[in-house]
C-alpha cells in the first residue's frame, strides 16, 4: 500500500488518559510503524508550545491552559493565532489527508485550513455530552446539550468522511442531525499487548488481594458517568451471600465521594481503590481479576472493556449505548440495567459456575479478535486511500 503523509489533530492526546486520547495515540503509533509519515497536532501539558520528534512521527504541542470549569484535568488549546500556527504546520508538511478527533479549537482550525488548501479531511467521533453533564448546572443541561451537539454537527457535516467506533455511536450522531457519510471502524485493541499473563503470590500481596475469593475489576475515570457508586452498592448486596473483592482502578474528580460511599457501606476490606497505575501494573491487575465490570453509561465503544476482553476476562456491562455490541449475554458475560439489585444478581450469577466463568473468559478473547489493531489500521488505511482518490 502506498505510504501516506497523514496529519492527526486531537484536543486530547497522551499523556492524557481517556478514550479519545488512547485511540489517537494507538492510531498514530500504528500508522507510523506501518511506514506512513505522521504529524500530530495536540495540546501541550503547559502554557508553552513544543515539538516532539520520533522517527517518522512529529508531534506539535500547542500551548494550553487548564479549564477546570469544564473538567478537572482537561486542558484547552490557547486559541490566540491558532489558525496561523496550524496553517504553517499544514503548509510545511503538505499532508495527503487530515484526520481530526474533535470539533473544538484544533478541529475547527484544521477544517478551515483544509478547505482553504483543498486537502481531504475526515473525522472520528469520540464526543458525547453525557460525559460532561456533572460539570453543567442542572437548569442548563438541556440547553447545553443542544448547543454542544449543534457545534459538533456544524463542523462534522463539513468533513469529507466520518468514522464512528460503534453502530450505536453512528446511530446516535445520525439521529441528532449528522448527514455526512459515516463508516463504523472500531477503536481497536493491541492483542499482543493485552494478553493474560502468569501471576504469582507476590502480585496478590502487592495489591492486598485474597487469591481465594472472586475478584471483580473496574478501570477508568472515577466520575459520575462511570457509575462507581452502583458497583459499590451492588457489592454490599453480594457480600451478604458471597465473599468477593472489587478493584477500582483509576482516578477522577469524584474519587473521594466514591471512597466515602465505600466507607459508609463498610466495604473497606473488600473494595480496593488503587488510583492510577502503570501500564504494566494494569495488565497485572487484569490478570489477577476474574470478572470485569463495565459500568459506564455513556460509552461510544468502551476501550477498557475491550482491553479486559483481550485479557480473557468475562464482562458484566451496563445495557447502554455501545456496550451491548461487545457483550453477548451468557456467552462472554451479562448485561445489567442501572440498578444495584440487577447488577448484584448478575455478579452472583457469573461466579456461580467456575467452569462457565472460564469459558466466558475464553469467549471474550475470541470475540475481541475482530477488533484487533492490525485489522483496524488496515481499514483506516483503505479509508484514507478512498477519500484521497475520490476527493
pLDDT at 134 over 60: no
pTM for this predicted structure: 0.91
Question: Considering the chain, what percentage of its residues have pLDDT values greater than 70?
Answer: 95
- Examine domains 5-188+372-390 and 201-370 and report if their fold is the same: yes
The band of 139, judged by pLDDT with boundaries at 50, 70 and 90, is low
Residue 73 has pLDDT above 80, yes or no: no
Per the CB < 8 A criterion, the answer to whether 250 and 275 are in contact is: yes
Per-residue pLDDT band for 219 (boundaries 50, 70, 90) equals very high
CATH of domain 5-188+372-390: 3.40.50.2000
Q: Does the pLDDT at position 142 exceed 80? A: no
Q: What are phi and psi of 75, to 5 degrees?
A: -115, 135
Do 113 and 86 form a contact (C-beta atoms < 8 A)? yes
Q: Which CATH number does 201-370 carry?
A: 3.40.50.2000
Backbone angles phi, psi at 94, to 5 degrees: 55, 60
Tell me the pLDDT band of 268, cut-offs 50, 70 and 90.
Answer: confident
pLDDT at 135: 58
What is the chain's mean pLDDT, rounded? 92
Q: What is the pLDDT of residue 216?
A: 98
Q: What are phi and psi of 18, to 5 degrees?
A: -165, 175
Query: Which residue is associated with the grid cell 504529524?
Result: 39
Q: What is the C-alpha separation between 354 and 214, in angstroms, rounded?
A: 10
| Residue extents of the structural domains in the chain | 5-188+372-390, 201-370
Q: Mean pLDDT, to the nearest integer, of 36-55? A: 91
Beta partners for 258? none
Looking at the predicted structure, is the pLDDT value of residue 144 above 80? no
> CA 284 to CA 274: how far, in whole Å?
13
Amino acid at each position: 500500500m502506498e505510504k501516506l503523509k497523514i496529519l492527526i489533530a486531537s484536543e486530547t492526546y497522551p499523556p492524557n488518559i481517556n478514550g479519545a486520547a488512547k485511540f489517537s495515540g494507538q492510531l498514530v503509533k500504528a500508522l507510523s510503524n506501518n511506514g506512513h509519515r505522521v504529524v500530530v497536532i495536540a495540546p501541550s501539558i503547559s502554557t508553552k508550545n513544543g515539538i516532539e520528534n520520533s522517527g517518522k512521527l512529529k508531534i506539535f504541542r500547542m500551548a494550553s491552559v487548564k479549564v477546570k470549569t469544564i473538567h478537572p484535568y482537561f486542558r484547552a488549546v490557547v486559541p490566540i493565532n491558532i489558525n496561523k500556527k496550524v496553517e504553517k504546520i499544514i503548509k510545511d508538511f503538505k499532508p495527503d489527508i487530515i484526520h481530526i478527533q474533535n470539533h473544538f479549537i484544533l478541529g475547527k482550525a484544521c477544517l478551515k485550513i483544509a478547505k482553504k488548501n483543498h486537502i481531504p479531511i475526515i473525522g472520528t467521533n469520540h464526543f458525547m455530552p453525557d460525559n460532561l453533564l456533572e460539570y453543567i448546572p442542572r437548569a442548563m443541561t438541556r440547553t447545553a446539550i443542544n448547543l454542544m451537539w449543534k457545534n459538533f454537527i456544524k463542523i462534522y457535516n463539513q468533513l469529507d468522511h466520518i468514522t464512528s467506533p460503534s453502530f450505536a455511536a453512528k446511530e446516535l450522531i445520525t439521529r441528532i442531525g449528522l448527514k455526512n457519510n459515516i463508516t463504523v471502524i472500531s477503536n481497536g485493541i493491541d492483542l499482543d499487548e493485552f494478553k493474560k499473563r502468569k501471576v504469582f503470590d507476590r502480585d496478590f500481596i502487592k495489591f492486598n488481594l485474597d487469591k481465594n475469593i472472586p475478584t471483580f475489576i473496574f478501570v477508568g475515570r472515577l466520575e459520575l458517568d462511570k457509575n462507581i457508586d452502583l458497583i459499590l452498592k451492588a457489592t454490599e448486596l453480594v457480600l451478604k451471600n458471597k465473599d468477593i473483592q472489587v478493584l477500582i482502578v483509576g482516578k477522577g474528580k469524584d474519587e473521594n465521594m466514591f471512597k466515602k460511599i465505600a466507607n459508609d457501606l463498610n466495604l473497606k476490606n473488600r473494595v480496593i481503590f488503587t488510583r492510577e497505575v502503570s501500564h504494566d501494573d494494569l495488565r497485572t491487575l487484569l490478570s489477577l481479576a476474574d470478572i470485569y465490570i463495565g459500568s459506564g453509561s455513556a460509552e461510544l465503544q468502551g476501550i477498557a472493556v475491550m482491553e479486559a476482553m483481550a485479557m480473557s476476562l468475562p464482562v458484566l456491562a451496563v445495557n447502554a449505548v455501545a456496550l451491548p455490541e461487545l457483550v453477548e449475554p451468557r456467552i462472554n458475560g451479562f448485561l445489567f440495567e442501572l440498578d444495584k439489585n440487577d447488577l448484584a444478581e448478575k455478579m452472583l450469577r457469573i461466579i456461580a459456575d467456575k467452569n462457565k466463568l472460564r469459558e466466558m473468559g475464553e469467549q471474550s478473547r475470541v470475540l475481541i479478535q475482530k477488533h484487533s489493531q492490525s485489522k483496524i489500521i488496515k481499514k483506516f488505511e483503505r479509508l484514507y486511500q478512498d477519500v484521497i482518490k475520490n476527493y
